A = this chain, B = another copy of it.
């Protein structure tokens, strides 16, 4: 039987400010990318998200970021490798305490926002993040784009690199994600997202923006949590996959 993981960014509020739909999405996804306080998230939110994730059998991952709260981690920062390595260790450690308090553990790491884009293409930053993960806990998996600098850096550190693809983002002819700023970059219709998710899992390919298809190998499918209709879309993708005989399973088991 086919299975795939569903991952989503969660815990991205801050203090009095709410963002996204943590409780609802924690009933849908199998892996939670939990913000660690550098771009979003605070100790209260981290504790709550870890508790609910653990209760729901959702695997906990550290969604690590540049230290840029007002920019929500969306701005590239030209940071020294050692500084970046230590920033990532700090975040993994902080989240680990809450995961552990909930009877679970941090099982993987996924960079957020501008750092995600940077490690896909920027060898020094990719190496710095991969080193941080190995130093913090060499059993941690890494959630990354296939054929990226980050995937290579993770493997060079001996880490388990887990490939992800997107249900709700359009792919360009080179296999990369179409820029969010470009027309038509986002698949907003549940039917479209279901079709792409099924294609990724069952045919190991996606339709491209300019026509044609491209092979995609993915162990996890990312759904977004902060868009209008995010919950409905995520639920539809899950149901659509299950209706096609695909079970939703975390790529690393939840819990200890």
A interface residues with partner B (beta carbon < 8 Å): 13-19, 37, 40, 42-44, 46-47, 67-72, 74-80, 82-83, 86-87, 89-98, 100-101, 114, 135-136
A14→B13 CA distance, assembly (Å): 11
Interface contact A70-B72, CB-CB below 8 Å:
no
Partner of A69, one of B15, B37, B91, B98: B15
Known: A16-B72, A44-B86, A93-B97. 8 other contacts (CB 8 A): A37-B90, A43-B83, A75-B79, A86-B98, A90-B94, A90-B98, A93-B98, A94-B97
Give every chain B residue within 8 A of A16 (Cβ-Cβ).
Answer: 19, 40, 72, 74
Interface contact A43-B87, CB-CB below 8 Å:
yes
Interface contact A136-B101, CB-CB below 8 Å:
yes
Interface contact B70-A15, CB-CB below 8 Å:
yes
Interchain residue pairs with CB less than 8 A apart (25): A14-B17, A14-B69, A15-B70, A15-B72, A17-B17, A17-B18, A42-B70, A43-B83, A43-B87, A44-B86, A47-B86, A47-B89, A75-B77, A75-B78, A78-B114, A86-B98, A89-B97, A89-B98, A89-B101, A90-B94, A90-B97, A91-B94, A93-B97, A94-B97, A96-B96
Nearest CB of B to A177, in Å: 18
Give every chain B residue within 8 A of A71 (Cβ-Cβ).
Answer: 15, 77, 79, 83
A252→B89 CA distance, assembly (Å): 25
A104→B217 CA distance, assembly (Å): 39
Interface contact B83-A44, CB-CB below 8 Å:
yes
Closest to A134 in B: B101
A188→B70 CA distance, assembly (Å): 33
A70→B87 CA distance, assembly (Å): 11
Interface contact A70-B136, CB-CB below 8 Å:
no
Give every chain B residue within 8 A of A75 (Cβ-Cβ).
Answer: 77-80
Give every chain B residue within 8 A of A135 (Cβ-Cβ).
Answer: 101
Interface contact A92-B87, CB-CB below 8 Å:
no
A46→B19 CA distance, assembly (Å): 21
Closest to A14 in B: B17
A-B pairs, 4 with minimum CB distance: A93-B97, A17-B17, A43-B86, A16-B72
